Structure 1
């Protein structure tokens, strides 16, 4: 069976990533997973610092890995609105799709700081 494609982003904050993720998910009939939505739902009012974000974000990763692999294995595309800005973040994404030999698409959003601040 053909695997779904994992789609994720390398971008700055404020670059319109959530909007772009929703558009791509809609156009490709994909499942959209948003880190902001998961954290807001599962950890309301618990993230007030970068350390808090890192702690709670890391708690999501192992379960999301299994979920995404299961979805991709059924042939459904997954758009992940999670940061993939650093080598370690991109390696984490690779650990999701490479293990099950699913295709992927890294979308690089190249906007200036001034554009992001708008």
Structure 2
């Protein structure tokens, strides 16, 4: 039976890398808000960003139902930063009798900072289609992220730089 794999983790924690592993190992479709926003050149819309992200998520939730119905696994590469958001989407899939798994991408602060630095360098060189993470954005994102408990997650993946 097909399932939804929901990824929880900070920006630059390795979710995209992990998503590729899940895609290969689970014959899954990846749905990513960042991918849509960048592909449609909507990544730099200022104050409208959060509203657009929420609309994309709502669309993906509906699409997930269709994809699962035809027997294909889905990976939602969103981050799911708040406990309330995680609770809401769990309830959403429970009410629709859709199997789901929570995966958390854990990374040390040291490795996380290195990932941010590497990403920012690539963005500056136009080598990556990603958000530049400046100090202001970092403060905002850190204030929004609520680390899950081990009881919330089905899989706890420790991303270690090698």
Which TM-score band (shorter chain)?
Answer: 0.7 to 0.9
Q: Structure 1 residues 57-66 or 26-35, which shifts more?
A: 57-66
Q: Secondary structure at the match of 1:109?
A: strand
CA shift for structure 1 position 96: 4.1
What TM-score do the two structures reach when normalised by structure 1? 0.84
- Answer yes or no: is the 8 Å Cα contact 1:97–1:103 preserved in 2: yes
- Answer yes or no: is the 8 Å Cα contact 1:31–1:77 preserved in 2: yes
Structure 1 residue aligned with 2:38: 40
The structure having more radius of gyration, on CA atoms, is 2
Number of aligned residue pairs: 114
Gaps of 5+ in 1: none
Gaps of 5+ in 2: 115-162
Structure 2 residue aligned with 1:88: 84
What TM-score do the two structures reach when normalised by structure 2? 0.63
What RMSD, in angstroms, separates the aligned Cα atoms of the two structures?
1.8
Divergent runs of 4+, >6 A = none
- Answer yes or no: is the 8 Å Cα contact 2:37–2:43 preserved in 1: no
